[in-house]
Amino acid sequence: MSKLAGKQVLLIVSGGIAAFKALELIRLLRRQACAVSCVLTRNGAEFVTPLSLQALSESKVYTDLFSLTDESEMGHIQLSRSADLLVVVPASADLLARMAAGMADDLASTVLLATDKPVLVAPAMNVRMWLHAATQANMRLLQSRGIQVVGPDEGAMACNEFGPGRMSEPAAILSAIEALLAPDAVVASRPLEGRHALVTSGPTHEPIDPVRYIANRSSGRQGHAIAAELAALGARVTLVSGPVSVPDPAGANVVRVETAAEMLHACQAALPADIAVFAAAVADWRVANAAEGKIKKQPGVAAPNLELVPNPDILATIAATGPSRPRLVVGFAAETDDLMANAQSKLIRKNADWIVANDVSPSTGIMGGEENAVHIITASGVEDWPRVPKQQVARRLAQRIADWLR
Ligand code: C5P
């Protein structure tokens, strides 16, 4: 049974070259027996015709606030409330600004102001317009009011520029709609049944002697949440975890390790896997000359010198091309400087399929905190996800993985 059967979506199509993707989205929604009606703005009508929206949605298209017939058939208040979800696709910079300001000067903005239903926006605009402080401030304001956002992606744009601003693909918008309208159905359909997922999480401890070690501040919260969400979608999950104090995630088989060498060994032993997500903060170096007994401090004797040698890169080792390489390899990049450039180069250097990048500068409060704002970097572009609790990042990532494998 389709996840969206019997649901009702109101699509608001505003002006922009990406408006043509609304047609594909309608097709995907209708295939799931989801009822679709459309509001087409004046600028949107420059890119798609009411007739094509009507033909695909098999429903009336609303275009004018002051159409007396529309008002008598269905007033804008009723239109805004009869749907389960409003989806703005594409959301132009102008419409987002008018939403943020609470304006109601055409049918689209009036419906958006009058609704009591969840709203999902799929921004699409030129990269400079997206990055402009005004648009960014509008997005923060809208998100703080509970507006959901999908995209925009980064990549080549119709205006011959490159960067964030390209509207998400219809399949990604569909996943976001499913996650909002039918989260239980997504979980209940267990799309990862029969798949094996390998996840690393937490820090590693590299011994100096039997009682001392080198460590880092990773809590394991994000990796453990990912393991739980993959398991909730039906995957058999092997979680290779460094020393953490968070509880074991439900449904995962947990292998506890201390050092990077042990983590690599446990990951290799867990193969084959369909999916591998490397969320652990693996120590880059270990102590070459770790002492067998506790190093004693002695009066007059100099402090010990620790010789460090590099640890194996677990992600790069497992992602190297070969028969045991998982189909989808996802790495993380936590950076304080040049986030996107460093993450892009990690994608290539480590042969990963996706990198989940996040800014862990102290001012973000992300490291050790409850929330995360990530960017998903793939060979075809970048998706910027809004800042949400780590649990929700994990849920969306697990669903994105299930979509990709599907
Ligand atoms: O190089 P960097 O540590 O920033 O790379 C981060 C990504 O690589 C993460 O996915 C992390 O789990 C993985 N990694 C690894 N083994 C290492 C170092 C990093 O698997 N020795």
Task: Report the predicted TM-score, pTM, of the whole model to 2 decimal places.
Answer: 0.76
Neighbours of 209 (CB within 10 A): 16
Report how far residue 165's alpha carbon sits from residue 160's, in angstroms, rounded to the nearest whole number: 12
Q: Is 232 in the pocket of ligand 1 (CB under 6 A)?
A: no
**Which CATH code is given to the segment(s) 8-186?**
3.40.50.1950
Which residue from 276, 285, 261 is spatially nearest to 315, judged by alpha carbons? 276
Atom of ligand 1 nearest to the CA of 310: 21
pLDDT interval class at 26 (50, 70, 90): very high
Q: Which two tokens stand for residue 278?
A: 């490397």
Classify domain 190-287+297-405 at the CATH topology level.
Rossmann fold (3.40.50)
Assess whether the C-beta atom of 346 lies below 6 angstroms from ligand 1.
Answer: yes
By alpha-carbon position, which residue is closest to atom 21 of ligand 1?
313
Token reading at 186:
């997504």
What is the dihedral sign for C-alpha 250, 251, 257, 259? negative
- CB-count burial class (<10 Å; 0-12, 13-18, 19+) for 93: buried
Helix (H) or strand (E) run with residue 81 in it? helix 76-82
Looking at ligand 1, which residue's alpha carbon is closest to its atom 13? Answer: 315
Q: Is 147 helix (H, G, I), strand (E, B) or coil?
A: coil
169, 118, 71, 215: which is closest to 378 by C-alpha?
169
Ligand 1 mutation pick, 332, 335, 354, 358, max ligand atoms within 8 A of CB: 332
Question: Residue 90 above 80 pLDDT?
Answer: yes
CA–CA separation, 250 and 239 (whole Å) = 11
Ligand 1 contact, 226 CB (< 6 A): no
User: What is the structure's pLDDT at 3?
Assistant: 86
Buried b (16+ CB within 10 A) or exposed e, 101-120: eeebebbbbbbbbbbeeebb
Report residue 8 as tokens: 């009702």
DSSP labels for 103-137? --SSHHHHHHHH--S-EEEEE---HHHHHSHHHHH
Identify any residues that bridge with 143 across adjacent strands, giving them in sequence order.
none
C-alpha 279 to ligand 1 mean position (Å): 8
Closest ligand 1 atom to residue 315 Cα is: 20
Ligand 1 centroid – CA 294 distance (Å) = 30
Q: Which two tokens stand for residue 315?
A: 């992600």
CA 281 to chain centre: 19
Which helix (DSSP H) or strand (DSSP E) does residue 162 occupy? Answer: strand 162-166
d(CA 117, CA 176): 15
Over residues 143-159, the mean pLDDT reads: 82
In angstroms, rounded to a whole number, what is the distance separating the alpha carbons of residues 307 and 325? 33
Q: How far is the CA of 92 from the centre of ligand 1 (A)?
A: 37
For residue 285, how far is its CA from the centre of ligand 1 (angstroms)? Answer: 12
Q: 232: burial class by Cβ within 10 Å (0-12, 13-18, 19+)?
A: buried
- Residue 76, SS3 per DSSP: helix
CB of 331 closer than 6 A to ligand 1?
yes
Query: Does ligand 1 lie within 6 Å of residue 264's CB atom?
Result: no
Position in ligand 1 atom list of the atom nearest CA 350: 8
User: What is the predicted pLDDT for the residue at 68?
Assistant: 53
Residue 85 pLDDT > 70: yes
Average pLDDT over residues 158-164: 75
Q: By percentage, how much of the chain surpasses pLDDT 70?
A: 97
Mutation test residue for ligand 1: of 216, 308, 315, the one with most atoms within 8 Å of CB: 315
- 8 A C-beta contact, residue 280 and residue 205: no
User: For a substitution probing ligand 1, which of 204, 218, 278, 340 has the most ligand atoms within 8 Å of its CB?
Assistant: 278
Atom of ligand 1 nearest to the CA of 283: 21
The DSSP code sequence of 46-89 is GTS-HHHHHHHHTS-EE--TT-HHHHHHS-HHHHHHHSSEEEEE
More confident residue, 40 or 183: 40
Helix (H) or strand (E) holding 163: strand 162-166
280 Cα nearest atom in ligand 1: 12
Ligand 1 within 6 A of 228 CB? no
Q: Which residues pair with 156 in a beta bridge?
A: 162
Residue 277 pLDDT class (50, 70, 90 cuts): very high
Residue spans of the domains in the chain: they are 8-186, 190-287+297-405
Residue bearing the CA closest to ligand 1, atom 5? 333
When the pLDDT of each residue in the chain is averaged and rounded to a whole number, the result is: 91
- At residue 188, the pLDDT reads 84
- The stretch 217-233 carries a mean pLDDT of 94
Rounded Cα distance, 343 and 349, in Å: 10
Three-state secondary structure string covering 334-351: EECCCHHHHHHHHHHHCC
Determine the residue type at 312. Answer: P
Q: Do the Cβ atoms of 177 and 156 come closer than 8 Å? A: no
Confidence at residue 82, expressed as pLDDT on a 0 to 100 scale = 87
Give the catalytic positions in this structure: 159
The residue whose two tokens read 């453990």 is 224
| Residue 147 in contact with ligand 1 by CB distance below 6 A | no
* Same-fold call for 8-186 versus 190-287+297-405: yes
Sequence-ordered list of residues with C-beta below 8 angstroms from that of 213, at least 6 positions apart, any chain: 205, 206, 207, 258
3-state helix, strand, coil in the chain (%, to 5): 35, 25, 40
pLDDT at 176 over 60: yes
Over residues 293-300, the mean pLDDT reads: 91
